[in-house]
């Protein structure tokens, strides 16, 4: 089994840089990524965006439930 080149912390840092506005090509050059790694980074970024949208959609539903659970019976 092939070992990952980047740790989870490094991947999160690279994604944070991309969200800050750094272009994908610049990130690839900076971190020495190859094309498959760059595609994986793009896939992770897309997945991250989808998960954030899902979370934002669920937050209004959670507020009333948290209030109900916090009440003492």
In a domain, 3, yes or no: no
Residue 41 burial (10 A CB sphere; 0-12, 13-18, 19+): buried
Query: Residue 51 sits in which domain range?
Result: 8-70
pTM to 2 decimals? 0.49
Query: Under DSSP, is residue 33 helix (H, G, I), strand (E, B) or coil?
Result: coil
pLDDT tens-digit profile of 4-32? Answer: 678 888 888 988 898 898 888 888 888 88
In a domain, 35, yes or no: yes
In a domain, 31, yes or no: yes
In a domain, 2, yes or no: no
Domain tally, the chain: 1
In a domain, 32, yes or no: yes
């Amino acid at each position: 089994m092939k070992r990952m080149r980047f740790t989870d912390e490094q991947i999160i840092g690279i994604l944070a840089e991309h969200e800050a506005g750094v272009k994908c090509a610049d990130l690839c050059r900076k971190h020495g990524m190859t094309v498959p790694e760059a595609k994986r980074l793009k896939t992770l970024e897309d997945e991250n965006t989808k998960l954030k949208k899902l979370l934002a959609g669920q937050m209004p539903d959670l507020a009333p439930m948290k209030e109900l659970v916090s009440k003492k019976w």
